[in-house]
Amino acid sequence: MDSTTTRPARVLRLVAAAACLPYLTLKIAWIAGSTVGIPAGSELLDKRATMAAANSLTVLMDAAVIVLAFALTRPWGRRMPAWLVGLPLWAATGLLAPIVVGFPLQALISMFGGGGGGAADDDAQFLDAWVFTVVYVGFGIQALALGGLFVLYVRDRWGPLLRGRLGDLPPSPTAPAQRVLAVLAAVVAAAVAAVHLSWALGSTAGLSDEYAGQRAADLHVNEGMQVAFALAAAAGVLLLAHRRRPRTRLTTAVALGWTGGSALAAWSGWMLLASLATENPVRGDRQPTQAMNLAYAGGMITGLLVLAVGATLLAELSARVPAAAGGGASAAEGASPAGDTSAAGFARAAAGPAAHAGRPAAASGAGPEGAAPPAGAASPARMQPSAPGSPLRPVAPGRRAPIPRRS
* Confidence label for 21 from pLDDT (cuts 50, 70 and 90): very high
108 vs 196: which has the higher pLDDT = 196
The pLDDT assigned to 160 comes to 87
Q: Are residues 148 and 37 in the same domain?
A: yes
For residues 172 and 33, membership in a common domain is answered with no
Shared-domain flag, residues 121 and 212: no
**Average of per-residue pLDDT across 296-311:** 96
Q: How confident is the model at residue 323 (pLDDT cuts 50, 70, 90)?
A: very low
Residue 229 included in any domain? yes
- The answer on 249 and 194 residing in a single domain is yes
pLDDT beyond 70 at 116: no
399 assigned to some structural domain: no
For residues 282-286, give the mean pLDDT.
50
Say yes or no to pLDDT of 382 above 70: no
Task: Answer with the residue of higher pLDDT: 42 or 392.
Answer: 42
Is the distance from CB of 306 to CB of 261 less than 8 angstroms?
yes
Residue 25, pLDDT above cutoff 50 = yes
Asked, for residue 348, whether it belongs to a domain, the answer is no
Choose the final residue of a domain: 146, 162, 178: 162
The residue type at 203: S
- Number of structural domains found in the chain: 2
If asked whether residues 135 and 185 sit together in one domain, one would say no
User: pLDDT-based confidence at 214, cuts 50/70/90?
Assistant: low
Distance CA 402, CA 381 (A): 14
* 191 and 129 part of one domain: no
Q: Which domain holds residue 307?
A: 164-325
Q: How far apart are CA 162 and CA 253, in angstroms?
A: 10
Is residue 91 one of the residues assigned to a domain?
yes
> Tens digits of per-residue pLDDT, 59-83?
999 999 999 999 999 999 989 999 9
d(CA 146, CA 240): 25
Same domain as 79, residue 30: yes
The phi and psi torsions of 69 (rounded to 5 degrees) equal -60, -40
Looking at the fold, whether 140 and 173 belong to one and the same domain comes out as no
Residue 86 has pLDDT above 80, yes or no: yes
Residues 211 and 308 grouped into a single domain = yes
pLDDT of residue 1: 56
Residue 189 sits in the same domain as residue 261: yes
- Do 149 and 172 fall within a single domain? no
Q: How far, in Å, CA of 1 to CA of 164, rounded?
A: 22
Element of type H or E holding 394 = strand 392-395
Do 45 and 142 fall within a single domain?
yes
The DSSP letter of residue 369 is T
CA pair distance 107, 113, nearest whole angstrom: 10
Judged against a pLDDT cut of 70, whether residue 98 lies above it is answered with: yes
User: Does 398 reside within a domain?
Assistant: no
Please report whether residue 384 resides in a domain. no
Q: Residue 277 domain-assigned?
A: yes
In angstroms, the CA 338 to CA 160 distance is 5
pLDDT of residue 313: 93
